[in-house]
């Protein structure tokens, strides 16, 4: 847990006519790749027959031209990119989940994390349900399927299921005749809808995915809303709307792509605003402001704009290295950081540098990055962080399930500065992090990982691998 990992990304398209939709979903997932690099999948609805392909790896590696073509034509398709916050990595937990039941079929894509998944799963198992995955997404699929057996429609089943689901979930669901977009009542995770020139409806985690397939943004899905797309048009169910909004503020700080607009707020502008607040809260005499790619760049621009200190490109990031790669030989961790990031000596050598990053988790990565700047000739390094210190676990989808490895839980700011090796260290205040968003997002954000004020009850069992233990016990027996 050297750094915070992304969420998952969901995408779906409902077209008026049959078409080769897998290619459209592919482009949408490619735009959402930053939200998850473990696995990905696409399901195409071919007149009620679900053609599915999913596997470990990045979108560009998993889907070849032959695989895309093999998924055929259809009028509805959904896709998913995954970084798991519940359940291990691996093809077994790849999404979309496809369920066949007595009333038909369903494909489900999920972004978020349930806080009552353990209780729900235990109850289902006692009723005879058999689980094949170790993620909370399968729990959601079981709850919806169970409700579908006594519901007149898939959307009513989803509506009833929402009475039982607690926590964060943005869903894109496909039945043989419908596509459904769902957002939890708190609106923890983003979800928006758009429309293409030929009249196809698109649902996606971020607007950047709409842009990638030529869809015009229509609106965000409201917290608690169920949006149904079918041959009769588009309709909305708002039985669960009206609660207190608790959008994850870290979407603006790190998760979302800077060219996206989430709940009416430009992600780029939110990050730049965070940098401006940092400059006001933690000014320093320096020669250049640089950002740690990628999410530190926008905040660095804001810091430079407010402080009047020139902005410079201090690091070059190797764009051809994913989140995981094979290091040559017995290289050290410092070498791995250098392979991904390399300082620009002409920008930092002999200068007092303000380095902006989005967060500090364990501090180990920050320490190595600072060492790169020192080796490149920086005379001073002043680190500014566009988020408050992480002090609490997150139960809504961010990959922090414990306080054990959080450096801010064990050391003061001055102690952290010495450990990381910077001349000074400053974090954005909680008051100002709540102010970086504009638009409807201003109605309420979740900052529980910073201030401990959780908008829901706190679950007892929170470990990412909480369902793996049950499988291990079964194998021992």
Token digits for 246? 């608790």
* Partners of 446 in the β-ladder: 248
What pLDDT score was predicted for residue 81?
97
Of the residues 8, 265, 446, 447, only one is catalytic, namely 8
Answer whether residue 90 shows pLDDT above 90. no
What pLDDT score was predicted for residue 439?
63
pLDDT digit string, tens, across residues 314-359:
999 987 765 444 434 434 445 667 788 999 999 999 999 999 999 9
pLDDT bracket for residue 247 (50, 70, 90):
very high
Residues 6 or more apart whose Cβ sits within 8 Å of residue 187: 222, 223, 224, 245, 246, 247, 263
Answer whether residue 441 shows pLDDT above 80. no
Of 133, 132, 147, residue with least CA distance to 182:
147
Distances (CA, A) of 179 to 158, 193, 274: 12, 12, 37
CATH C-level class of 266-438: alpha beta
Answer whether residue 101 shows pLDDT above 60. yes
CATH no., domain 9-246: 3.60.20.10
pLDDT digit string, tens, across residues 3-43:
455 469 999 999 989 999 999 999 999 999 999 999 999 99
How many DSSP H helices and E strands does the chain contain? 17, 23
pLDDT bracket for residue 442 (50, 70, 90):
low
Location of structure tokens 């698109």: 202
What pLDDT score was predicted for residue 109?
98
Answer whether residue 212 shows pLDDT above 50. yes
State which H helix or E strand residue 369 sits in.
helix 364-375
Whether 394 sits among the annotated catalytic residues: the reply is no
What pLDDT score was predicted for residue 196?
98
Give the lowest-confidence range in 73-87, 97-111, 188-202, 277-291.
73-87
Q: CA–CA separation, 138 vs 172, rounded Å? A: 14
Give the lowest-confidence range in 1-5, 53-57, 427-431.
1-5
Give the lowest-confidence range in 268-272, 405-409, 439-443, 444-448.
439-443
Question: How do the domains of the chain map onto residue ranges?
Answer: 9-246, 266-438
CB atoms within 10 A of CB 236: 13
Q: Between 306 and 91, whose confidence is greater?
A: 306
Answer whether residue 69 shows pLDDT above 70. yes
Distances (CA, A) of 6 to 83, 114, 250, 339: 6, 16, 10, 21
96 preceded by a cis bond (ω within 30 of 0): yes
Give just the sign of the alpha carbon dihedral 291, 295, 301, 302: negative
Residues 6 or more apart whose Cβ sits within 8 Å of residue 337: 365, 368, 369, 372
What pLDDT score was predicted for residue 327?
39
pLDDT bracket for residue 433 (50, 70, 90):
very high
Q: How far is CA 283 from the centre of its chain?
A: 31
Q: What is the mean pLDDT of residues 144-169?
A: 97
pLDDT digit string, tens, across residues 296-318:
999 999 999 999 999 999 999 98
What pLDDT score was predicted for residue 386?
97
Q: CA–CA separation, 285 vs 45, rounded Å? A: 60
Q: CA–CA separation, 227 vs 313, rounded Å? A: 43
Q: CA–CA separation, 29 vs 13, rounded Å? A: 12
Give SS3 for 211.
helix
pLDDT bracket for residue 404 (50, 70, 90):
confident
User: DSSP characters for 295-323?
Assistant: THHHHHHHHHHHH-PPB---EEE-TT--S
What pLDDT score was predicted for residue 461?
64
Mean pLDDT, the chain, whole residue set? 90
Q: CA–CA separation, 382 vs 417, rounded Å? A: 9
What pLDDT score was predicted for residue 440?
56
Of 69, 70, 83, residue with least CA distance to 6:
83
What pLDDT score was predicted for residue 62?
96
Answer whether residue 50 shows pLDDT above 70. yes
Residues 6 or more apart whose Cβ sits within 8 Å of residue 412: none
8 A C-beta contact, residue 51 and residue 65: no
Answer whether residue 468 shows pLDDT above 90. no
pLDDT bracket for residue 371 (50, 70, 90):
very high
Residues 6 or more apart whose Cβ sits within 8 Å of residue 381: 353, 355, 370, 373, 374, 421, 422, 423
């Amino acid at each position: 847990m050297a750094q915070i990992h992304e969420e998952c990304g969901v995408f779906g398209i409902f077209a008026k006519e049959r078409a080769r939709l897998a290619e459209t979903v592919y482009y949408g997932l490619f735009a959402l790749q930053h939200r998850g690099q473990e696995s990905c999948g696409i399901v195409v609805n071919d007149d009620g027959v679900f053609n599915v392909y999913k596997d470990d790896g990045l979108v560009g590696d998993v889907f070849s031209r032959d695989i895309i073509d093999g998924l055929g034509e259809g009028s509805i398709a959904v896709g998913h990119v995954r970084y798991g916050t519940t359940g291990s990595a691996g093809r077994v937990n790849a999404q979309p989940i496809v369920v066949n039941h007595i009333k038909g079929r369903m494909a489900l894509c999920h972004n978020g994390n349930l806080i009552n998944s353990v209780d729900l799963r235990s109850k289902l198992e006692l009723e005879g349900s058999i689980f094949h995955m170790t993620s909370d997404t399968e729990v959601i699929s079981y709850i919806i399927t169970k409700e579908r057996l006594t519901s007149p429609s898939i959307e009513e089943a989803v509506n009833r299921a929402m009475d039982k689901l607690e926590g964060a979930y943005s869903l894109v669901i496909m039945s043989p005749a419908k596509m459904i977009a769902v957002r939890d009542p708190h609106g923890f995770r983003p979800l928006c809808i758009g429309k293409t020139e030929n009249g196809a409806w698109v649902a996606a985690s971020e607007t950047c995915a709409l842009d990638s397939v030529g869809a015009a943004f229509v609106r965000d899905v409201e917290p608690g809303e169920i949006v149904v797309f079918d041959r009769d048009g588009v309709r909305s169910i708002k039985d669960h709307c009206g609660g207190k909004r608790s959008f994850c503020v870290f979407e603006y700080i790190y998760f979302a792509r800077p060219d996206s607009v989430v709940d009416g707020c430009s992600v780029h502008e939110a990050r730049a605003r965070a940098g401006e607040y940092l400059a006001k809260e933690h000014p320093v005499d320096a020669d250049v402001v640089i950002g740690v790619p990628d999410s530190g760049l926008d905040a660095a621009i804001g810091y430079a704009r407010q402080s009047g200190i020139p902005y410079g490109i201090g690091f070059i990031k190797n764009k051809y290295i994913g989140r995981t790669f094979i290091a040559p030989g017995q290289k050290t961790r410092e070498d791995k950081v250098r392979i991904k990031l390399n300082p620009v000596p002409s920008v930092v050598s002999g200068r007092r540098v303000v380095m902006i990053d989005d967060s500090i988790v364990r501090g180990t990565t920050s320490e190595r990055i600072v060492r790169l700047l020192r080796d490149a000739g920086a005379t001073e390094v002043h680190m500014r962080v566009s988020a408050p210190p992480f002090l609490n676990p997150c139960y809504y989808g961010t990959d922090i399930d414990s306080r054990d490895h959080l450096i801010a839980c064990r050391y003061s700011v001055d102690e952290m500065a010495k450990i990381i090796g910077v001349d000074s260290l400053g974090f954005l205040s909680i008051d100002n992090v709540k102010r970086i968003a504009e638009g409807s997002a201003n109605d309420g954000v979740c900052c529980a990982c910073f201030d401990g004020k959780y908008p829901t009850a706190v679950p007892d069992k929170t470990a990412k691998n909480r369902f793996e233990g049950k499988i291990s016990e079964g194998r021992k027996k």
